[in-house]
Structure 1
């Protein structure tokens, strides 16, 4: 069992947990993910690693409940445990595996959208620990959904916060901030964008226009996390890849986002039925003819 040492709500419907997982903490790197399962009947959920402490043996996860299993996770408290906490899985960020002296020469921009701030943080922190300051854009729909701002301030070279509704920081989408920074004279050799699929798509359209190579994380389309279910199949250039085993990070300018988003939508209906069953409990007696609750 993997004990939850801390559980708190960072914002409305966004949860942070520190989990005691010594072997995972010892081996994980920024960009990787773990698979969590609550109990023997639970669903296996892939979640990106938001932070880790090798000395304490803890791994931090941040998630937004969207289905039955993650809503169950959100109800857990410090002292509760997960049955499975498997990892690290996926490939680490290339920034952590490339030649350090070459990485130091690059001017890097991170773009974090919503919960995407969580997997951005360990990469920025790793760079900071190695003497590299990167610029970071953190965006959300409104002020109440901005997360990890103070933590990011400690490791970012420059932090730019923006909200779609203008309630905090700059006003507008993250893509507008990218364009504004370049217009102000900023030059970047690499952009790393992590967040909702639609945000990453338009970040890539923007950076391609500006000539900035861009890496994205395709964690949002992962379901099984082992390459068996096929949910995270995507086209990268002329190749077929699977986000969980080949990524989750890829060259954003080569990804067919429209295809990936269409594939992602195919898996929502079943999860929606599972969520209803969880929310309604014993009162869920079916009637739809699909979920089996009427049997």
Structure 2
């Protein structure tokens, strides 16, 4: 059992949990993830560790409520427990000092990007950060990112904060001015695909973090398979980070949508049951 020591909503339907997990906090590195389950009848979901505090034995996860499992997670209060927290899993990010890195984050992918950008900042690299969200009420970790970046650019679809438009608009401007040594892009599949297509035109190495359907997290089930440069890889053990120019994003998007209708039905049934208990 893993105690929740902090629970707060940091943006609309986006929840931050700090969890007591000393063994994981001791070993966790940027880019790694945990598999989390709330109840014994629930599913295990992969969530990347947004930060770890070895001294106090804490890890931080950030997620958006998008279905039944994350809705169950969000209902857990401070002092309550997750049944399973397994990790750290996956390969950590290779963070080598470079002259300049551009970190591009969208949605809750910003939470995944934060420890990576912080790692580059800590080793003396110039870190420019581009954050994207549909609107200001869905933007997370802006202040934290600003504190560790040389320059910060914010883009929103509706222009409610920062530049109106997409992260690729701001990225293109930066690529035209001074191409970086590497771009790290983490967010929705469509965003990572667009970023990778853009950086390929400029010959800039691009790293993306993939979050496919996952069950065991050890490479045994094969559910998290992705196509990288025409070869099959498992995101849980070979990733979750890969060369964005080699990822088959269309196949990834298709696989992610395989159970969307069933997930929608389960989520609506769950919300209906919750509402019935409150009446």
Match of 1:237 in 2: 229
| Aligned mates of 2:97, 2:159 — CA distance in 1 | 34
Q: Is the 8 A contact 1:231 1:267 kept in 2?
A: no
Q: Equivalent residue of 1:240, what SS?
A: strand
* Equivalent position to 1:182, from 170, 175, 178: 175
Q: Which runs of 4+ in 1 moved over 6 A?
A: none
RMSD between aligned residues: 1.6
Q: CA shift at 1:278, angstroms?
A: 1.4
| 1:71 counterpart residue number | 71
Counterpart Cα distance in 2 of 1:278 and 1:104: 47
Tell me, which stretches of 5 or more residues in structure 1 are unaligned? 96-102, 285-295
TM-aligned CA distance change 1:162 to 1:226, over 3 Å: same
For the structure 1 residues 282 and 144, does the alpha-carbon distance in structure 2 shift closer, same or farther, using more than 3 Å as the test? Answer: closer
CA contact (8 A) 2:101 2:125 kept: no
Alignment match, 1:254: 246
> Is the alpha carbon distance of 1:282 and 1:63 closer, same or farther for their aligned partners in structure 2, counting shifts above 3 Å?
closer
Judge which range, 60-69 or 261-270, deviates more. 261-270
The alignment's TM-score, normalised by the length of structure 2, stands at 0.94
Shift of 1:134: 1.0
Calculate the TM-score normalised by the size of structure 1: 0.89
259, 274, 277: which one aligns with 2:266: 274
Equivalence for 1:203: 195
Structure 2 unaligned segments of length 5 or more: list them.
none
Corresponding residue number in structure 2 for 1:214: 206
Counterparts of 1:126-165 in structure 2, within 5 Å, are 126-165=119-158
- SS of 2:160's partner is coil
